[in-house]
Amino acid sequence: MSTFTDDEKLWTDLIPINFHVTYWNYLGWKDPFASAVFSKRQRTYKALGKSRIVATPGFMVNGNGWQGWFYKQAIPVAKARYLGNLKATINNSKINLEYDTVNIEDNTDQNLIAHVALLGFGIETQIHSGENAGHKLKHDFVVIGYEQNDMQTKQQLSLTDLTLPRVKKISPTKQALVFWVSKKGDPTPLQVAADWF
């Protein structure tokens, strides 16, 4: 994933997010970026039939499982269907997120969830035990802070307030913010916005 840091399509056509999972923590090294929420996210994709497997690494592209990485294929970059305007406004540590679906034919007053992830780049961790003992791992696009909240829908405008994720004891060389909206019970992004922070 590190190769995408300088990609010309980054934050427009390509928004990589590295969600670390907890189900390998029993091997002797606890991943400092792992979250049970991210493990559940991966299992939900499988339960919904959008991914055949729960694995690390596991790749989702536009909400569907993709196994091409294992065969050295390029990540498919295709324009996703337009599903509304997403606008994030940051004021101090508060984020106001608006999702406008007024011009979409199939918009409904459905239960929506707003997400924000703080991504870290250039982070290194020394592995002391487990299968990677003695190695130093470099992390880019890794989620180092995450928040989500239900959105309140009024006609075709969904609104919510989120708290800007903060992280202690990690010193990334760069950071980025990613905002997205999904339906409750389905982690597939409906609309995404991201940029360096």
Q: What is the pLDDT of residue 17?
A: 96
- Cβ pair 87, 181 in contact under 8 A: no
pLDDT tens, residue by residue, 54-71: 888 889 998 889 988 888
Residue 20 is predicted with a pLDDT of 94
Q: What is the pLDDT of residue 136?
A: 92
Angle at 46 between CA 14 and CA 25, to 5 degrees: 85
Higher pLDDT, 103 or 125: 125
Q: What is the pTM of this model?
A: 0.90
* Mean pLDDT in residue range 158-185: 92
Stronger pLDDT, 151 or 80, i.e. the higher one: 151
pLDDT, average across residues 170-193: 94
Q: Please say if the pLDDT value at position 139 is more than 60.
A: yes
Q: Are 196 and 175 in contact (CB under 8 A)?
A: yes
pLDDT at 113: 94
User: Could you report the per-residue pLDDT of 63-120, keeping only the tens digit for each?
Assistant: 889 988 888 898 887 777 778 899 999 998 899 999 997 655 555 556 899 999 999 9
**Across 152-165, average pLDDT:** 86
Contacts of 5 (CB under 8 A, 6+ apart): 121, 140, 141, 174
Length of the chain: 197
Residue pair 147/165 in contact by the 8 Å Cβ criterion:
yes
pLDDT reported for residue 103:
57
pLDDT at 119: 97
